[in-house]
């Protein structure tokens, strides 16, 4: 097979570090005449490309004569616009390195050895609600999980990525606070509230069903509101249900009882730019009473 580049093993070649100096995205052009020498040039050009993850293989020269020029042209493509993405990400990292990393060498050196975050944060994957942006968490502050609708499944629902992270944060990192942050206009909660029992399945349905208790409660207590307001109600209700679900984990419950761990809920409204925060009052909460929780230290900032 004489085609110069066979991409059977895309991960075989060297990675290109962004922090190195010369970085030149170049269009690869292939001369019309096909000879073994041209194949060599092609290989070199491909290796220089910033998206080079190709392993080249050379076939016997006898086959090359069958090839068309146009076929090689398609092989030599570098997708338009992807160079921009590489440049964009490179600029982003270099700006962090210059303005943050190099400005705090001792802090980053000690962080490189070990992390000791005081917080574990469970937030939605929504692009508008990153806890590092809205709550100013710096490197080393918060061990963060982000999933659709910031849900916490119960202990009984079995292994999942959320459970794994809870285990690590609470038992290994020994965080002192767990903060579940919900937000306005949440697509996941909206999907939960709008879910029909029509037998269709999807990943989104299978996931947001973990918040079904919040939906039930909302339908009961907020049935007079329009759909949008019901969703807002459910967004907050779901945070409280996640807090209750946290207590279904024996190791979390034990630490909360011993006052080694505090559980907090937070709600970020990005329409009005306000933040509410409350803490679970474990002593006051009677879980047998329908999972109703008692909160303390409720604050609202806007």
Binders in 138-157 for other proteins, by CB under 8 A? 138-148
30: left (phi over 0), alpha (psi -120 to 50) or beta: beta
Contact status: 160 vs other proteins (CB under 8 A): yes
Contact status: 102 vs other proteins (CB under 8 A): yes
Residues in region 173-232 near other proteins by CB under 8 A: 176-177, 179, 184-185, 187-188, 201-204, 206-208
What backbone torsions phi and psi does residue 181 show, to the nearest 5 degrees?
Answer: -110, 120
Q: Name the residue among 255, 211, 263, 257 with its Cα closest to residue 237.
A: 211
- Which residue in 168, 219, 227, 284 binds other proteins (CB under 8 A)? 168
Q: Candidates 32-40, 172-180, 219-227, 229-237 — which segment interacts with other proteins by CB under 8 A?
A: 172-180
Rounded distance between C-alpha atoms, residue 45 and residue 28, angstroms:
6
CB 205 within 8 A of CB 195: yes
CB count within 10 Å of CB 175 equals 24
- Which residue in 30, 39, 56, 119 binds other proteins (CB under 8 A)? 119
The residue count for the chain:
302
Rounded distance between C-alpha atoms, residue 99 and residue 102, angstroms:
7
Q: Which is nearer to other proteins, 110 or 221 (CB)?
A: 110
Q: Is residue 80 part of an annotated ligand binding site?
A: no
Residue 228 C-beta: closest distance to other proteins, Å: 13
Contact status: 69 vs other proteins (CB under 8 A): no
Rounded distance between C-alpha atoms, residue 148 and residue 146, angstroms:
7
Contact status: 291 vs other proteins (CB under 8 A): no
Rounded distance between C-alpha atoms, residue 242 and residue 115, angstroms:
26
In the shown chain, the binding pattern of residues 122 to 141 toward other proteins, with x for contact by CB under 8 A and - for none, equals: ---xxxxxxxxxxxxxxxxx
Q: Candidates 28-36, 83-91, 232-240, 284-292 — which segment interacts with other proteins by CB under 8 A?
A: 83-91
Contact status: 25 vs other proteins (CB under 8 A): no
Q: Which two tokens stand for residue 151?
A: 């849900």
What SS3 class is residue 103? Answer: coil
Q: Is residue 186 part of an annotated ligand binding site?
A: yes
Q: Candidates 34-42, 219-227, 239-247, 270-278 — which segment interacts with other proteins by CB under 8 A?
A: 270-278
Q: Pick out the residues of the known binding site.
A: 124, 126, 183, 186
């Amino acid at each position: 097979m004489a085609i110069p580049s066979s991409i059977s093993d895309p991960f075989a070649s060297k990675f290109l570090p962004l922090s190195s100096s010369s970085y030149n995205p170049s269009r690869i052009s292939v001369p019309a005449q096909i000879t073994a020498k041209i194949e060599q040039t092609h290989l070199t050009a491909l290796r220089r490309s910033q998206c080079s993850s190709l392993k080249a293989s050379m076939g016997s020269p006898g086959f090359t004569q069958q090839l068309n020029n146009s076929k090689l042209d398609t092989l030599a493509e570098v997708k338009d616009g992807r160079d921009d993405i590489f440049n964009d990400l490179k600029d982003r990292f270099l700006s962090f390195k210059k303005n943050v990393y190099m400005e705090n060498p001792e802090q980053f050196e000690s962080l490189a050895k070990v992390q000791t975050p005081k917080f574990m944060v469970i937030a939605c994957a929504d692009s508008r609600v990153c806890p590092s942006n809205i709550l100013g968490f710096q490197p080393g502050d918060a061990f963060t999980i982000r999933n659709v609708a910031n849900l916490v499944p119960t202990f009984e629902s079995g292994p999942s990525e959320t459970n794994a992270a809870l285990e690590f944060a609470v038992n290994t990192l020994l965080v002192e606070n767990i903060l579940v942050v919900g937000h306005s206009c949440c697509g996941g909660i909206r999907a939960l509230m709008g879910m029909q029992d029509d037998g269709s399945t999807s990943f989104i349905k299978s996931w947001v069903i973990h918040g079904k208790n919040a939906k039930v409660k909302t339908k009961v207590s907020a049935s007079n509101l329009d759909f949008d307001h019901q969703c807002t109600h459910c967004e907050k209700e779901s945070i409280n249900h996640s807090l209750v679900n946290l207590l279904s984990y024996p190791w979390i419950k034990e630490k909360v009882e011993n006052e080694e761990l505090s559980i907090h809920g937070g709600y970020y409204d990005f329409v009005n730019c306000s933040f509410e925060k409350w803490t679970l009052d474990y002593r006051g909460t009677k879980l047998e009473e329908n999972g109703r929780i008692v909160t303390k230290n409720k604050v609202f900032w806007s």
